[in-house]
Amino acid sequence: MFRYRAIYGTLCLSIALLGCGGSSDSSDNQEASQQVGASGTGPDSTQLVLDSIYYNRRTPGDFYTEPQPDPGVYQTISHIKNSDVMLPGSYDDTTPRYELCANDFSEALDWSTTASSGLGNLVDNTEHALFYQFTYTPLASPELNNLQRVYKCSMLDRSALDIRDLNTDLGQYTETVQNSANIKLLIEYLWSFTESNNYGNAILNNTISDAGNYYLHTMQHARLTSALALGSTCDRIDIYLVNYQIQKSDGAITVSEDLQNILYSRYQDGNATICQESP
């Protein structure tokens, strides 16, 4: 069964820590991403898979990426949950945990103020198409920015979910006038806060289309399993087609995946190659 593994702690970003989130050299994939066929095979597509996985070219050039902080600045990103603003003792292990959305800036600020204990002083706030953001910086660590985010209820509602038990349901897209560009942005943003946004994973291409009763956002996703983990002399790269369906009637977002292809490969002395021998 497909399981959507999301990160609901913090995403860390720094000028030197590309492995903590965001993509590396994504612009190199923008042109090549269009060459990957349905099977993920052939000289062009095979080389794209190898380069994307081993050289950490994690997403295509038009994919959502977090802005990199200034040199020497480190930042964490978290989404405020209902449990962050509840009084101690007012919830237990059976209480669903979900990421909050706000109807306006004032509501988001109230929740951020309640949930900001230990993060530092509020030094900035910004607004994005998907969320409200509040930046806190500790006096003792001016090089650290703690970013708190609250989704906009006009874009995403996750209150019917429990983030500890996500499977195929990812929430509800709530924009009044549905917009495929915003749906693409939303899906890519949600992906950025999953375990897949780490080394050994790569989105080879992604498209969005109108499928009648729903929008279909498709990602071709390569995942690396090391030779060490396999007890083999070759790594394995699984290539999946990941389909996100966004229903037009109620905005429900669901995700499923199908295995398309398997490649066996090796990275040695700075070179990525296909294994010629049987793994």
pLDDT for position 240: 97
pLDDT for position 277: 67
Tokens coding 103: 């109807």
- Angle, CA of 220, 62 and 18, to the nearest 5°: 85
Q: Please compute, for residue 260, the number of CA atoms within 13 A of its CA located in the half-sphere on the CB side.
A: 21
Give every CB contact of residue 106 below 8 A, 6+ residues apart in sequence. Answer: none
DSSP the chain: -----B--S-EEEETT-GGGSS-SSGGGHHHHGGG--TT--SHHHHHHHHHHHHTT--S-TTS--PPPPPTT-EEEEEE-BGGGSSPTTS--TTS---B-EESSHHHHHHHHHHH-TTS-EEEEEEE-SSEEEEEEE-TT-TTEEEEEEEEETTTEE-TT--GGG-SSEEEEE--SS--HHHHHHHHHHHHHTBTTSSTTEEEEEEEEEE-SSEEEEEEEEEEEE-HHHHTSSSEEEEEEEEEEEEETTT-EEEEEEEEEEEEEEEEETTEEEE--S--
pLDDT for position 11: 60
pLDDT for position 279: 62
Asked if residues 52 and 29 have their Cβ atoms less than 8 Å apart, the reply is yes
pLDDT tens track, the chain, 279 positions: 444 455 544 565 543 333 444 444 444 443 333 334 444 445 568 999 999 999 999 999 999 999 889 999 999 999 999 999 998 778 888 899 999 999 999 999 999 999 999 999 999 999 999 999 999 999 999 999 999 999 999 999 999 999 888 778 999 999 999 999 999 999 999 999 999 999 999 999 999 999 999 999 999 999 999 999 999 999 999 999 999 999 999 999 999 999 999 999 999 999 999 997 666
CA distance 57 to 207: 18
pLDDT for position 168: 85
Residue 189 gets the label, from left (phi > 0), alpha (psi -120 to 50) or beta, of alpha
- Say whether pTM exceeds 0.75: yes
pLDDT for position 38: 43
Domain residue spans of the chain: 11-274
Single out the residue of 2, 39, 26 nearest to residue 188, CA to CA. 26
Sole residue written with tokens 């997403």? 59
